[in-house]
Amino acid sequence: MQSRHTDLVRLGWSEWFEERSECGLGHTIARVAAVDRDVLWLMDHAGTFRAKLAGSYRYRHRLSPEFPCVGDWVCVEKRPADDLGMVHRLLERRTVLRRKSAGESVDYQMIAANVDCVVIVQSCHFDFNLKRLERYLVMVRDGGADACVLLTKMDLVAPAIPASQSAEIRAAGVTAPVLTLSSVTREGLDDLQRTLLPGRTYCFVGSSGVGKSTIINALMGREMLETKEVSGTGEGRHTTVRRELIILEGGGLVIDNPGMRELGILGAESGIGESFADIIGLASGCRYRNCGHTDEPGCAVREALDSGSIGQDHYANYLKLREESAFYQMSYAEKRRKDRDFGRYIKSAKRDLENW
């Protein structure tokens, strides 16, 4: 299929989007590079410009995940004399990166869209945490993107530590590529650059201070501009305050992402299935089809745990994430039901007033 939008390929456009792109007369396609409250920063073949959501779009879409986020493709109307473009439609997302909203709210929070690969960054120094890594992997795979693990600050630890941590990741059944890097010595930077292919989108995620902004600055060939001074522990301080899509000189597109303190899992059964494929595979040998893998007789997962074929921490994290996902999914379904009931009540009340 010949794309009608070849001028957008360098921004991540592909035949997948071409087959699903439907815009109104006089509308063009652009990609969301950043979101500043009500203002969207969009990129197209001519450059970057600002836009706002059309009133009709806001009227039709009320849920937070339905609003454009970084990485989205949108249909926009903009005449040369206009200061702002007007976004009328959000194109279908190929992949999503989302989490449960922080706090007690049971809803999805969009992080980025149409990401090809999520680079999960952990520091070899103080930040390495296998359980958190598994949580990130569930989130990534549930949204349909590929994953890559990047261990940073290897200059702050003994040479054997990065290799030991990589082995620990592999022992947990993680099959995603694992890279190591030092922004100080630049060891591993060339390997990372070769990973970032032209026209593909990569989102860097991880805790605050693991060096995400420093890495992106290095990939852009500039010094550490936004990153504040390094703390006494060797960890950088929080720097990035918004998500932003950036085009690298080599043609890859990267999204820097603020550090996330909370990483709630909501309705991520497919992501859990892929991230814990070893346990899911063992489960097919359980005596009962609905085995919960806790204390049921004939449980193949428990047998593997007792024999040491799978680790206790890996098993415990699987149970925790599965229960968390199911709990929040149940709460989310109840919330949506109440929202629909309330919406029907409002419509009924309006009709009654109009007929009064």
What does the DSSP assignment read for 7-67? Answer: GGGGGT--HHHHTT----TT-EEEEEEEEETTEEEEEETTEEEEEEE-HHHHHH--SGGGS
Residue 156 has pLDDT above 60, yes or no: yes
**Domains of the chain from N-terminus onward:** 6-90 (2.40.50.140), 96-256 (3.40.50.300), 269-351 (1.10.40.50)
Residue 236 has φ and ψ, to the nearest 5°, of -70, 160
Residue 125 has pLDDT above 50, yes or no: yes
Among 87, 57, 54, CA closest to 72: 87
pLDDT in tens, 228-286: 444 444 444 445 557 899 999 999 999 988 766 556 665 557 667 677 878 888 888 88
Confidence (pLDDT) at 261: 59
Q: Which two tokens stand for residue 187?
A: 């060891």
- Residue 337 neighbours by CB under 8 Å, 6+ apart: none
pLDDT in tens, 183-214: 899 999 999 999 999 999 999 998 888 888 89
Please give the Cα distance from 317 to 198 (Å, whole number): 36
Residue whose pair of structure tokens reads 């309006």 in the numeric block: 350
Find the angle CA(14)-CA(18)-CA(22) to the nearest 5 degrees: 145
